[in-house]
Amino acid sequence: MRVLMISKACVMGIYQRKLEEIARLGVTLTVVTPPGWRDERGWLPLERTHTEGYRLLVTPLALNGSFHLHYYPHLRQILAESKPDLVHVDEEPYNLAAWQCTLLAQRAGVRSLFFAWQNRLRRYPPPFRWWEQYVYRRSAFAIAGNHDAARVLQIKGYAGPLRVIPQFGVDPSLYGTSEAPSGKPFAIGYIGRLVEEKGIADLLRAASGLPGRWVIRLLGSGPERESLLSLARSLGIAERVWFDDQIPSSEVPAYLSKLHALVLPSRTRPNWREQFGRVLIEAMISGVPVVGSDSGEIPNVIGKAGLVYPEGDTGALRGHLQALMNEPDLWADLARRGRERVRARFTQAQVAAETVAVYRKALEGRSDGSFPPPAR
């Protein structure tokens, strides 16, 4: 089976482990990715971290940084040269790149599938709606990154085969184990974009009422950095809030091992809610207890292996953090549960195996016109 995957997400080195696992399952895999991606954090260069067993093809990306309008100028030639049996479009169906990939695959007589995170029901104007409907009609399969995204696809008219699979898992062998918070300040971490919808201000407000010895470590960059620093000062906790510079994804496991809790305090907005929160499973496999709001997919990711609170409820968030600080047995129990949950459901090997199973189904096709329901 020859698969051509188009994915700007794979500029992140730690995500490339899934690609190695797909190749291990007998897939002749070529992955097309740009030399980097630009977003509100700045320029994220390609990391060549896990590149065994498959071909990583770096090619220019036009309109880099435009989420809806970027595309690959050389994709036609790449498709002709690689001669795949299947094209995996790792893009939302309403993006120009998704339409481009699907169109070129159709013209080459190759089946294609797409991936979607979008978990809000949004109606797009032309031409985005046209691209989206074209991708729906012409794709042999769809992968949704969360259950809400699967429902959105069906509501908007996608009637084909559909599975719910996280975009990426974790490789347990890359992660160490956090040490119990004994005799040192309790390190509360956040990893991700510093943007308003991630709710980091709620974390600072919740922590400002915490007694005892603690620090907050914020790893990431984004437009909210200065306002968060200002808020920390106004709350009188600036000396306890550390802003850590962006690091390569391969260094995140070592960073996590220094934390005692990981918080994802996301806040739902009219055009966004948390789609997965991969940092949760990274923390869980590291034995770091996690606390998350109930925005979007967070409760489904955490399950009973962490603590969930109503988004925006800083008192409840503070209570969870206080419990982790004061109850060693709770801390140890959640550290154990987190590792077990990720090993059971969210490893790169499992995600790869489920993805390859989709590849086989997409290539088999269905002649009876019926489709299986989304996986639960």
Per the listing, tokens 């948390």 go with 274
Structural domain contains residue 8: yes
Structural domain contains residue 375: no
Same domain, 86 and 216: no
Band (pLDDT 50/70/90 cuts) for residue 255 is: very high
Which CATH number do you get for residue 38? 3.40.50.2000
Residue 252 has pLDDT above 70, yes or no: yes
Same domain, 176 and 132: no
Structural domain contains residue 376: no
d(CA 103, CA 114): 12
Return the bridge partners of 243, or none: 218
Same domain, 159 and 223: no
Band (pLDDT 50/70/90 cuts) for residue 370 is: very low
Overall number of domains in the chain: 2
Q: Which domain holds residue 211?
A: 172-345
Give pLDDT tens digits for 94-115. Answer: 999 999 999 999 999 999 999 9
Same domain, 45 and 149: yes
Band (pLDDT 50/70/90 cuts) for residue 250 is: confident
Same domain, 82 and 223: no
Instruction: State the pTM of this model.
Output: 0.84
Element (H, E) at 38: strand 36-39
Structural domain contains residue 373: no
Comparing 208-217, 301-310, 364-373, the range with the smallest average pLDDT is 364-373
Give me the phi and psi of 270, to 5 degrees please.
-55, -30
Same domain, 22 and 155: yes
Same domain, 238 and 297: yes
Residue 331 has pLDDT above 50, yes or no: yes
Same domain, 75 and 183: no
Band (pLDDT 50/70/90 cuts) for residue 179 is: confident
Same domain, 291 and 164: no
Of the candidates 331, 362, 296, 373, the residue with the CA atom closest to the CA atom of residue 113 = 362
Of the candidates 272, 254, 121, 297, the residue with the CA atom closest to the CA atom of residue 193 = 272
d(CA 341, CA 301): 9
* Buried-state track 113-137, b at ≥16 Cβ within 10 A, e below 16: bbbbbbbeeeebeeebeebbbbbbe
Band (pLDDT 50/70/90 cuts) for residue 183 is: confident
| Per-residue pLDDT at 55 | 98
Structural domain contains residue 370: no
Return the bridge partners of 307, or none: 291
Band (pLDDT 50/70/90 cuts) for residue 373 is: very low
Element (H, E) at 290: strand 290-293
Structural domain contains residue 369: no
Cβ–Cβ < 8 Å for 192, 198: yes
| Per-residue pLDDT at 368 | 36
| Per-residue pLDDT at 190 | 98
Q: Which two tokens stand for residue 243?
A: 């802003």
Structural domain contains residue 19: yes
Same domain, 16 and 154: yes
Structural domain contains residue 163: yes
Give pLDDT tens digits for 186-239. Answer: 999 999 999 999 999 999 999 999 999 999 999 999 999 999 999 999 999 999
Same domain, 194 and 337: yes
List helix spans (H) across the chain. Answer: 16-24, 75-82, 96-107, 128-138, 147-155, 200-207, 225-234, 252-256, 278-285, 298-302, 314-326, 328-345, 348-364
- Looking at residues 323-336, what average pLDDT do you find? 97
Same domain, 206 and 332: yes
Q: Of all residues in the chain, what percent carry a pLDDT higher than 70?
A: 97
Q: Which two tokens stand for residue 266?
A: 């996301």
- Looking at residues 314-327, what average pLDDT do you find? 97
